[in-house]
Amino acid sequence: MLSPEERREIEAELPLYPNKQAVCIDAMQIVQKHRGWVPDEAIQDVASLLDMAPDELDGIATFYNRIFRRPVGRHVLLLCDSVSCWVMGYERVRAHLMERLGVGLGQTTADNRFTFLPNVCLGACDRAPVMMVNEDLHADLTTEKIDTLLEDYK
Amino acid sequence: MEKPLTQNIRTDGTAIDLAAYERAGGYQGLRKALRMSPEEVLETVKRSGLRGRGGAGFPTGVKWSLVPRGKDAPHPKYVVANADEMEPGAFKDRFLLEGDPHQMIEGMIIAAYAVEADAAYIFLRWAYREAAVRLSKAIADAYRHRYLGKNILETGYNLEMILHVSAGRYICGEETALLNALEGKRANPRAKPPYPQTVGLWGKPTVVNNVETFCNVPHILKNGPDWFQSLSRTKDAGTKLYGASGKVKRPGLWELPMGTTAREILEEHAGGMRDGLRFRAAIPGGASTEFITEPHLDIPMDFDEIKKAGSRLGTATLIVLDDRTCPVGMLWNIEQFFAQESCGWCTPCWSGLSWVEQILGAMERGEGEEGDLEILRQQTKFMAPGNTFCALAPGAMEPLASGLTYFQEDFERHIREKRCPWKS
């Protein structure tokens, strides 16, 4: 069941578009904002609200990088793996993060604190290497800087 | 020199608010436009010579003129800002959106007035969180001050503006795929023709322009097309946001006259290479453009001149390759990106890019084989423009084709020595 707040936020989007389907990507992002990810039952509920088939909505959900169809940890750590970051030391940063977190890309730490994901260009190439933790961009990464900033996310 | 696009951008990283934007001359271009007919606005932009800043360089006024106008035109009509900016190596639009959101909003309103549009969507990539916050505030402020909504500045013109935050896929930057994404579908590209100017969003006439393109428009209206032409060093008018990333001393972004050379950008503005490193090559306009090398550095970086060097201006944000970084590894990274971000709509793209990516990966691991280079060269031809549904795969082949030319010896060493020579 969509929560009243989720439903209210999704319905607030409806007047912005000429038809209901156009709201579906926003709707899934709203669910994800509240729950961290988009479970099967939410796909059913959003599809029903927007007069779509659940399969169709799931096909859209799985197309977009930012819709998570599996649970994530309390903090989502997205490491930019595109070319400027690669030139500036992506592999070193990735190795350090894997060591510190004890998990590989695509995995969640055992304490459910971080989910570590690769991410295509974050658009901060002049400050490479970069990563995002939740909604925060962290640039000019060094191993020392990573150690410090991970402590901010409990 | 004048820097219209960045003149209001503050060094402390905050955005200019509406009051300060107005004090600096903001919304004067719109006020002037609204005293003109839509046709006159369109002609002004046409005469300015503004070319699209998203990479393709199509003349903006011509694009707008393809939209049906007048009392028999279909409605609603739409204007869309392509603020997706997911091309690796590109970071210019973020700078404009975060620092001066009203500039793009004003440009969009003027564009919408010129094509007699009813609604405007900003298609923003999800990762630009700060830009989303600032744009939301700027749009709300623009509504409050009657620059948006019903009867804008008492002129009888109506326009709604909506911020859409996307859910991330590189193909969303392709204008027809972007339209599908806005409609709540998978972002697969559409066949052209019909072009979006006649059959676009929800089948209605639609103009899609890049952020930087819209940002130029208020200044063109305010100061005139001749002024805009005078900003440039070459026949491509205006200024340009040029950038550099990689192992240069001062990576960054600078507004410079269109036609500034790559050497000036790299040596004067980016401070040259880091100590102990030498320049080897650069990709001039994001990951989908061909490498340029030392002999090309004095060519003016504009749409036509850079073509003579066998490359494209693209986003004009240079990615620099130094002499201690493996070009094969760099190309593998680039092709991994394109293979992953292929939308899967056409076979040459989803199948071909994966094959290319795997061959390059094998080379980097020391598993390259005789004949690999021939396969890679073939693929650059199989995925040339016209052989795929959209420009994603041909764009992916541009750095590879040029890399195979400039770094042939590096590729051959990988195969011959069964290792990456840059790794100990």
The count of domains in chain A is 2
In the block, tokens 């997706």 appear at B84
Residue owning tokens 């003109």: B36
Q: What is the CATH number of the domain that holds B402?
A: 1.20.1440.230
Beta strands in B115-238 (DSSP E): 119-124, 160-165, 206-210
- Report the residue of B75, B77, B87, B91 to disrupt the A interface, i.e. the one with the largest count of A CBs within 10 Å: B91
- Say if residues A47 and A54 touch (Cβ distance below 8 Å): yes
Same structural domain, B74 and B207: yes
Question: pLDDT tier at B74 (50, 70, 90 boundaries)?
Answer: very high
What CATH number did the domain enclosing A44 receive?
A: 1.10.10
Interface of B with A in 69-98 (CB under 8 A): 76, 85-91, 93-94
As a whole number, mean pLDDT of residues B100-124 equals 98
Using alpha carbons, select from B385, B269, B361, B257 the residue that is nearest to residue B318.
B269
Interface test with A, best of B75, B82, B87 (most A CBs within 10 A): B87
The reply to whether B329 touches chain A by the CB within 8 Å rule is yes
How many Å lie between the alpha carbon of B306 and the closest alpha carbon of chain A? 21
Question: Are residue B216 and residue B347 in the same domain, yes or no?
Answer: no
Residue B423 domain-assigned (yes or no): no
pLDDT averaged over chain B? 96
Contact (Cβ atoms closer than 8 angstroms) between residue B114 and residue B65: no
| Tally of domains in chain B | 3
Q: Say whether pLDDT at B179 is over 80.
A: yes
**B357-369 residues labelled b (16+ CB within 10 A) or e (exposed):** bebbbbbbeeebe
Q: Which pLDDT value is given to residue B423?
A: 87
Mean pLDDT by 10 residues, chain A (154 residues): 96 96 97 97 98 98 96 97 97 97 97 96 96 96 95 92
Is residue B317 within 8 angstroms of chain A, CB to CB? yes
* Minimal C-alpha gap between B182 and chain A (Å): 6
- A149 Rama sector, left if φ>0, alpha if ψ -120 to 50, beta otherwise: alpha
- The pLDDT of B181-191, averaged and rounded, is 97
Confidence (pLDDT) at B190:
97
Burial of A103 (0-12, 13-18, 19+ CB in 10 A): middle
Q: Give the pLDDT confidence score for residue B144 in this predicted structure.
A: 97
Residues A136 and A83 in one domain: yes
Residues A84 and A30 in one domain: no
Query: For residues A117-148, b (16+ Cβ closer than 10 Å) or e, as one string?
Result: bbbbbbbbbbbbbbbbbeeebbbebeeeebee
Q: B253 at the A interface (CB within 8 A)?
A: yes
What are the φ and ψ backbone dihedral angles of B158, each rounded to 5 degrees? -115, 135
- Nearest 5°: the CA angle A107, A110, A112 is 80
Q: Does residue B422 lie within any of the structural domains?
A: no
Do B381 and B318 have their domain in common?
no
Are B82 and B125 spatial neighbours (Cβ–Cβ below 8 Å)? no
Which pair of structure tokens corresponds to residue B399?
């750095």
B354 and B243: one domain?
A: no
Give the C-alpha separation, B105 to B27, whole Å. 9
Q: Same domain for B274 and B347?
A: no
Domain containing A134 — which CATH number?
A: 3.40.30.10
In this structure, the answer to whether residues A53 and A102 fall within a common structural domain is no
Domain annotation covers residue A69: no
Query: Do residues A58 and A90 both lie within one domain?
Result: no
The pLDDT of residue B416: 96
Give the closest residue to B379 by CA, choosing from B362, B361, B359, B364. Answer: B359
One domain, residues B245 and B296: yes
Q: State which of B230, B257, B289 marks the end of a domain.
A: B230
Task: Count the residues in chain A.
Answer: 154
What would the pLDDT profile of B214-240 be if each residue is shown by its tens digit?
A: 999 999 999 999 999 999 999 999 999
- The answer to whether residues B153 and B264 belong to one domain is no
| B253 and B392 assigned to the same domain | no
Domain region containing B212: 18-230
Structure tokens at B335: 């092709």
**Residue B55 — pLDDT band, cuts 50, 70, 90?**
confident
User: In this structure, what token pair is assigned to residue B238?
Assistant: 């205006």
Which tens digit of pLDDT belongs to each residue from B337-386? 999 999 999 999 999 999 999 999 999 999 999 999 999 999 999 999 99
Rounded to 10 degrees, the C-alpha dihedral A143/A145/A148/A154 comes to -90
* Structural domain for A137, as ranges: 75-151
Instruction: Give the pLDDT score at B309.
Output: 87
Q: What is the ipTM of this complex?
A: 0.96
Q: Is residue A24 a known part of a binding site?
A: no
Q: Determine contact: B320 vs chain A, CB below 8 A.
A: yes
What does the alpha-carbon distance between residue B328 and residue A32 come to, in Å, rounded to a whole number? Answer: 38
Would the annotation count A85 as a binding residue? yes
Please tell me the distance from the alpha carbon of residue A94 to that of residue A116, in angstroms, as a whole number: 10
Half-sphere exposure of B44 (CA within 13 A, CB side): 27
Ligand-binding site membership of A125 (annotated): yes
Contact call for B169 and A25, based on CB within 8 A? no
